[in-house]
């Protein structure tokens, strides 16, 4: 998520432009422009973790989120240090089974979800820099969507200049018959997810990506010692 924010601001600022004096001083007070108002979109019933940004993208069980204070204002000067951010969520498609008997209903369900994704990206009060999604919602109730839905999600994010983060912590490393679950989506070359996260079964935690511009352009911005490797 932090990489997505830095990537977005780097594009806005200009590839070769350095930080302004105002950015350097304002970020130390958690104020814009150094601390801009940006957002990550997630889906209802998603689970992405329990800490700060990931908790703000988790919507599977109330117990994970209780007592996480919601910011009282979008004015950074009045924010407290809190683990929940006012980021958007849209409903994940709720398919009906058996699939072969509900093809039309399920296509409409997925199309409605995609329309809400694009509408939210365009209308949310702060820029949505990334959409994060699980190939199969596990913690949130074993919820599935078709490859066509995920291809549509990839199309929307590319068209709107938004990164697609695929959370493969639970689905990766062979759980679905391919090493990564998103390999089953039939994405064209060049349409791969911008970021794929992994953990647990991998015996390591991390993320991989394809675009070298996701590597911070200065040291100490994201990692003190090790940088992830682009693939």
3-class secondary structure, 131 = strand
Q: In this predicted structure, what is the pLDDT of residue 19?
A: 87
Q: In this predicted structure, what is the pLDDT of residue 63?
A: 57
Pairing of strands 89-90, 39-43: parallel
Active-site annotation holds for 167: yes
Of 146, 150, 149, whose CA–CA distance to 97 is shortest? 146
Q: How far apart are CA 115 and CA 13, in angstroms?
A: 30
Q: In this predicted structure, what is the pLDDT of residue 94?
A: 95
Active-site annotation holds for 189: no
Active-site annotation holds for 225: yes
pLDDT digits (tens, 9 = 90+) for 112-138: 999 999 999 999 999 999 999 999 998
- Where in the chain are the domains? 2-13+34-214
CATH domain 2-13+34-214 topology = 3.40.640
Q: In this predicted structure, what is the pLDDT of residue 126?
A: 92
Low-confidence ranges of the chain (pLDDT < 70): 48-83, 223-231
pLDDT digits (tens, 9 = 90+) for 18-31: 889 998 898 888 78
Catalytic-labelled residue, pool 45, 167, 171, 209: 167
Which helix (H) or strand (E) is 116 found in, with range? Answer: helix 103-123
Catalytic-labelled residue, pool 61, 200, 202, 223: 200
Active-site annotation holds for 200: yes
Q: In this predicted structure, what is the pLDDT of residue 72?
A: 46
3-class secondary structure, 54 = helix
Which helix (H) or strand (E) is 208 found in, with range? Answer: strand 206-209
Q: In this predicted structure, what is the pLDDT of residue 165?
A: 95
């Amino acid at each position: 998520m932090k990489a997505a924010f830095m990537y977005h601001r780097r594009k806005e600022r200009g590839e070769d432009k350095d930080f302004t004096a105002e950015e350097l001083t304002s970020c130390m007070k958690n104020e814009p422009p150094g601390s801009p108002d940006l957002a990550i979109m997630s889906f209802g019933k998603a689970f992405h973790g329990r800490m700060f940004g990931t908790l703000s993208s988790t919507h599977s069980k109330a117990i994970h989120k209780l007592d996480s204070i919601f910011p009282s204002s979008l004015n950074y000067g009045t924010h407290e240090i809190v683990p929940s951010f006012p980021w958007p969520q849209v409903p994940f498609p709720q398919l009906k089974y058996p699939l072969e008997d509900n093809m039309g209903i399920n296509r409409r369900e997925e199309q409605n979800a995609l329309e809400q994704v694009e509408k939210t990206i365009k209308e949310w009060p702060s820029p949505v820099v990334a959409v994060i999604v699980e190939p199969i919602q596990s913690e949130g109730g074993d919820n599935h969507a078709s490859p066509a839905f995920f291809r549509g999600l990839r199309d929307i994010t590319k068209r709107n200049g938004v990164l697609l983060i695929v959370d493969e912590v639970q689905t990766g490393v062979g759980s679905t018959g391919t090493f990564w679950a998103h390999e089953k989506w039939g994405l064209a070359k060049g349409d791969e997810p911008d970021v794929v996260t992994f953990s647990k079964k991998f015996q390591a935690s991390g993320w991989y990506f394809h675009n070298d511009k996701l590597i911070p352009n200065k040291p100490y911005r994201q990692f003190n010692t090790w940088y992830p490797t682009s693939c």
